[in-house]
Amino acid sequence: MALRPIIILPDTRLREISRPIERLDSATGSLIEDMLATMYDAPGIGLAAIQIAEPVRLVTIDVAGKDEPPAPMVFINPEITWASEDKNVHEEGCLSIPDYYEEVERPSRVRVRFRDREFKEQEIDADGLLATCIQHEIDHLNGVLFIDYLSRLKRERVTKKFAKAARQG
């Protein structure tokens, strides 16, 4: 298990489309362990593999409250198979855009098909914070960031701020 560096805006790898995982092997098992450790260390409630520069369709999430035991979830090749008409607004953050939070509107409930860490097919219905988080993470697998849902003014402002910070090292 290793803590892995999280890539930060404007790293262009955040815009890559991640590839599906074909089979479970020891490399994927190690990557899952690294992602969970990196997510808890950050700390964050979710992580997509591309955020540690691994362009594969793998997501970890733990939305347990701070007084609850850890509840790590692993999603391999997740796909949204249904989304509710009704929407929910939630404040979002991103470990790849540190210390920036904005409200985003998304479907309030989604059904997600995925493979678990034994590579068994599963389907879950998600609502609340889990629904917000899984949609945010699946967006990462498609090169989409939560700032893409903001006004052009806000998106350009935050993009310029992070580009300047990257130039200044």
Which residue ranges make up the site for Zn ion (CB under 5 A)? 94
Q: How far apart are CA 47 and CA 75, in angstroms?
A: 10
Q: Which of 118, 117, 138 is nearest to 126 (CA)?
A: 138
Length of the chain, in residues: 169
Q: Does 57 bind ligand K1U (CB under 6 A)?
A: no
- Residue 133, binding choice from ligand K1U, Zn ion, none, Cβ under 5 to 8 Å by partner class: ligand K1U
Q: How far is the CB of 140 from ligand K1U (least distance, A)?
A: 6
Q: Does 139 bind ligand K1U (CB under 6 A)?
A: no
Among 9, 14, 36, 45, the residue binding ligand K1U under the rule CB under 6 A is 45
Q: How far apart are CA 29 and CA 10, in angstroms?
A: 29
Candidates 88-96, 113-121, 149-157, 161-169; binding stretch for ligand K1U (CB under 6 A): 88-96
Q: Does 78 bind ligand K1U (CB under 6 A)?
A: no
Q: Which of 6, 10, 17, 12 is nearest to 143 (CA)?
A: 17
- Residue 57, binding choice from ligand K1U, Zn ion, none, Cβ under 5 to 8 Å by partner class: none
Among 36, 132, 138, 162, the residue binding ligand K1U under the rule CB under 6 A is 132
Q: What's 30's DSSP letter? A: H
Q: What's 53's DSSP letter? A: T
Q: Does 95 bind ligand K1U (CB under 6 A)?
A: yes
Q: Which of 19, 12, 70 is nearest to 41 (CA)?
A: 70
Q: Does 55 bind ligand K1U (CB under 6 A)?
A: no
**Does 137 participate in catalysis according to the annotation?**
yes
Residue facing ligand K1U at closest CB distance? 44
Question: 61, 137 in Cβ contact below 8 A?
Answer: yes
Q: How far apart are CA 90 and CA 149, in angstroms?
A: 12
Q: Does 128 bind ligand K1U (CB under 6 A)?
A: no
Structure tokens of 74? Answer: 């692993």
Which positions are catalytic?
A: 137
Interface residues with ligand K1U (CB under 6 A)? 43-48, 92-96, 132-133, 136-137, 140
